[in-house]
Structure 1
Amino acid sequence: MSRIGRQPIAVPSGVTATIANGVFSVKGPRGELSVPYNQALNISNDNGQILVTRPSDRQEHRALHGLTRTLVANAVKGVSDGYTINLELRGVGYRARLAGRNLELTIGFSHPVVIEPPAGVTFTVPEPTRIDVSGIDKQLVGQVAANVRKVRKPDAYHGKGVRFVGEQISLKAGKAGATGGKGKK
């Protein structure tokens, strides 16, 4: 049996879950999410715990078991706590600011880059070199954060650009590293 799929999901107080017609819906203090799932699987909600079970050990059921449980758990956590991904800007003169709901990045181009958040995602800029992407849908928050990072990926030689907080960038040696730091004789 799937180790992830068989784990029960605890439903926090203030969160209500409904299961109908192949759609798992959850409503909480931060909002409401719906997760479609394969109807071959069975999702049950009893005594504040959600269980996902599969009908057989066939390959397709085993593959869907852990996936469905994880998607349901992400929805429950999203409507109760939400998700936040932190980004940082590295580079001289690189900064971010909010213009209404939009994020305006000054990151070495001749013009500022403006990013408009989709519905359900918010940007906050606690410092000019830090960006927080927040929302209730884990997949959407991650995709928006990846799109912000894609505007100016970290440079392989200096490490300048937009990166996730704590992300390690392995820097290349450059011209001097090719000869071990010594010039030609």
Structure 2
Amino acid sequence: MSRIGRLAIVVPDTVNIIDNVSSVTVTGKFGTLDLDIPPFIEFVKKEGRININLKEPCPKNANALRGLYRTLLFNLVIGVSEQFETTLLLKGVGYRAIIQENEIVLSLGFSHPVKLEIPKTINAEVIQNTTIILKSCDKELLGLFAAKVRSWREPEPYKGKGILYKNEIIQRKAGKSGK
């Protein structure tokens, strides 16, 4: 990660970055996000680019953390300017999804429907009852919510049923061999 930290971040004109003492606020077309930063990392703005530098004294793993915070800031810039998108597919007989108010209601073969509250920063859309499209400016929250939805029925290797990500490939297993 230490080499990633050296790369500059190109900031679009529509994105505004405010550097506070212990945090960074990124504002754009799709929202506002905050990032807490350690005291040994500083952001230097120059001509539509941001570089991440280290202040002295810094810990041994400072170069790795420099790369981490560069990537986190880059994700914030991309999120507020373009948004992130995740698609979930429901595969299985009777597996359905519906959006009611601010909840996703999943019918996954249980005796009851599964209701999950959609966070405020995430936009959810259901297509043909079997495809869920999630969009958000916060990549971390989007991934956590998609994993929470998927955890109700993870894909199983024998029939391939379950909730899976759009381009996910399930390694299939052979069933029992009969005599």
* TM-score of the superposed pair, with normalisation by structure 2: 0.94
- Distance in 1, matches of 2:101 and 2:59, equals 51
Report the aligned-residue RMSD: 1.5
Secondary structure of the residue that 1:141 maps to in structure 2?
helix
Secondary structure of the residue that 2:5 maps to in structure 1?
coil
Shift, 1:110, TM fit: 1.3
* TM-score of the superposed pair, with normalisation by structure 1: 0.91
Instruction: Determine whether 1:25 maps to 2:33.
Output: no
Question: 2:39: which partner in 1?
Answer: 39
- Give the AA of the match of 2:5: G
Q: Whose Rg is larger?
A: 1
- Distance in 2, matches of 1:27 and 1:165, equals 29
Instruction: Output one character per residue of 1:91-130: Cα deviation in whole Å (capped at 9) or x when no partner.
Output: 1111111111211111111111111012211211122110
- Distance in 2, matches of 1:169 and 1:69, equals 33
Instruction: Output one character per residue of 1:154-173: Cα deviation in whole Å (capped at 9) or x when no partner.
Output: 12211101000111111221
- Give the AA of the match of 2:127: P
Instruction: Output one character per residue of 1:39-71: Cα deviation in whole Å (capped at 9) or x when no partner.
Output: 201211121111101246853211211001001
Instruction: Output one character per residue of 1:1-28: Cα deviation in whole Å (capped at 9) or x when no partner.
Output: 9221111111112111010112111111
Q: Which runs of 5+ in 2 are unaligned?
A: none
Question: 2:50: which partner in 1?
Answer: 50
More off after superposition, 33-42 vs 142-151: 33-42
- Distance in 2, matches of 1:98 and 1:119, equals 14
- Distance in 2, matches of 1:47 and 1:95, equals 49
Question: 2:95: which partner in 1?
Answer: 94
Q: Which runs of 5+ in 1 are unaligned?
A: 177-182
- Distance in 2, matches of 1:38 and 1:95, equals 44
